[in-house]
Amino acid sequence: MKRIILYRYHENVDFSIDRLTVIKKLNPEVPVYGLYGGDENEFDKYEAALASFFEDHYCIRSKPGFWKWGNSDLAYRLWYKDMGHLIDFDSVVVIEWDLVFLEPIEKIYSHVMPGQLGMTGLTPLSKVEKKWFWTRDPAQRQNWLNLLEFVKHHYNYQDSPYASLCPGVILPKQFLEQFSKLEVPELGHDELRLPLFAQVLGYELVDLGFSRKWFSASENQYFNCNDIDILPATIEKEYSKRKGRRVFHPFRDYVTNVFPEFYRNGSMVG
């Protein structure tokens, strides 16, 4: 299987150099592509500073900042339509700027088979919709119900929807090819839309296991989408365990501060 990495970020050259150094050293044979969603006027600066890490580099244009941040699935769709369709790959792993992997992607995604679409926190929506902001907040819930009605009407959707968490998704090229040709309204949230349209297109969804329990304070110390920073000490402690965690989100420090020997020897140290 030919996998590529899509690094999604919005700002901070030094931070991206740190992240991409780790990504490249853990995955030296895997092509890495850039997906920039920051200020378009600064793209040339980022393109020059990060050129040595990327096979190619894409800038989202003519979209407001919140759109670029909050619609990851539609951003992947744009990237694929303008650039990705020209690349030879079977599936793409998306690594966001605040997502940390401490193992190669081939090990992390070893259980994902060709043609499967992998997300984390994958759970039937009925189990979380009363507590989850994107289906609990009245305005967001109405957006979701409008989206659900749209796919029922346009695509004869009859399945039971899923909730998910988007950091670290793995997407088959064939899915992106088909997704890029569908009419996709800007309704709901990417963590609802992506599994929904995977079902519309008949793809098998696989839980990546990065997040193991919803609405859990203990789980939030390792992986969350609630803006709760992962502590460096937590990463160090987990990495010292033979079967500890190897995926963390959101981590907004330098990985090389946690593992200072990384630059010197080119491998993680336990």
Residues in the chain: 270
The predicted-structure confidence for 173-222, as pLDDT tens digits, reads as follows 999 999 999 999 999 999 999 999 999 999 999 999 999 999 999 999 99
Q: What is the pLDDT of residues 11-47, one digit of tens each?
A: 999 999 999 999 999 999 999 999 999 999 999 999 9
Burial class (CB in 10 A: 0-12, 13-18, 19+), 17: middle
Nearest residue to 12 (alpha-carbon basis) of 254, 259, 231, 261 = 254
Per-residue pLDDT tens for 41-91? 999 999 999 999 999 999 999 999 889 988 999 999 999 999 999 999 999
How far, in Å, are 22, 34, 102, 143, 193 from residue 38 at the CA level? 22, 12, 26, 26, 23
Residue 156 burial (10 A CB sphere; 0-12, 13-18, 19+): exposed
The number of beta carbons lying within 10 Å of the beta carbon of residue 256 is 16
Euclidean distance between CA atoms 134 and 165, whole angstroms? 12
- Cα 245–249–254 angle (5° rounding)? 95
